[in-house]
Amino acid sequence: MIQISFSILFIILGIAFILMGSIGILRLPDFYSRSHAASKSDTLGVMFVIGGLIIYEGFTQSSLKLLFIILFIALSNPIGTHALARAALKKGIKPVLYNRSTEEEKK
Amino acid sequence: MEDFFLYTAVVLTIIIAIPLIRVVKGPTLFDRLLATNAIATKTIVLICLTGYVFGRIDMFIDITLAYAILGFLGSLVVAKYLTSYKIRRQREQEQSS
């Protein structure tokens, strides 16, 4: 019984994080802040939901594979978002708070 | 408990529609790619929950692993393609000519 209640708690927490990340993708002003919302909160939400599924499953072979999925997402999602942000910076997309005078002061 | 997984999957499907607006609307190409990547991440969870709804998690878990690897490779390959040296050189030649 306590196993099922912990599982439900984890899944609801993860769905809340995924919802906040989606609203961030829709509402934030420029590309870099949107990538911030997409990478961090989505990764945490997916890890919470699949962790709740592991608690519901118990010790089986499927729960080991679910653990591998958590590890893979914790590695792959920030790497993919970082590659996209680096590509955008190389293509010359400016952040919304970019100020030309600060760059001239550095030179 | 299967009912709870079913309702969670329905809520998650409604949540997936939110980044789809960004895919349609996004001002640059990278916004669309980012939202597509976010949709792929949420679909992994949706396939896991579908496996529990049907009671066949041992089959759906392999589909989930394959989908995770495919979504990751897709976004990474497109990002590397957009910054590759050949593409930039071709574009500069087109602009100069």
Q: In Å, what is the CA distance from A19 to each residue of A25, A26, A37, A77, B54? A: 10, 11, 11, 17, 25
pLDDT at A66 over 60: yes
Preferred mutation among B25, B34, B64, B87 to probe A, highest tally of A CBs within 10 A? B34
pLDDT of residue A101: 61
Residue A104 binned pLDDT confidence (cut-offs 50, 70, 90): low
Please say whether the beta carbons of B35 and B16 come within 8 A.
no
Q: What is the pTM of this model?
A: 0.84
Q: Which of B8, B19, B30 sits opposite A93 (nearest CB)?
A: B30
Interchain pair B37, A26: CB under 8 A: no
Residues near B50 by Cβ (< 8 Å), separated by ≥ 6? Answer: B9, B60
Could you tell me if A94 lies within 8 Å of chain B, comparing CB atoms?
A: no
pLDDT of residue A105: 62
Q: Which of B34, B52, B79 sits opposite A34 (nearest CB)?
A: B34
pLDDT tens digits for A11-43? Answer: 999 999 999 999 988 888 888 888 888 888 989
Interchain pair B18, A22: CB under 8 A: yes
Could you tell me if B30 lies within 8 Å of chain A, comparing CB atoms?
A: yes
Structural domain span for residue B23: 2-96
pLDDT of residue A106: 59
Q: d(Cα A20, Cα B86) in Å, to the nearest integer? A: 39
Interchain pair A72, B76: CB under 8 A: no
- Give residue limits of the domains in chain A: 2-106
Residue B29 binned pLDDT confidence (cut-offs 50, 70, 90): confident
Interchain pair A43, B52: CB under 8 A: no
Minimum Cα–Cα distance from A40: chain B residue:
B38
Number of domains in chain B: 1
Interchain pair A57, B57: CB under 8 A: yes
CA B84 to chain centre: 22
Please say whether the beta carbons of A34 and B31 come within 8 A.
yes
Interchain pair B30, A15: CB under 8 A: no
ipTM topping 0.95: no
User: What's the rounded mean pLDDT across residues B66-84?
Assistant: 85
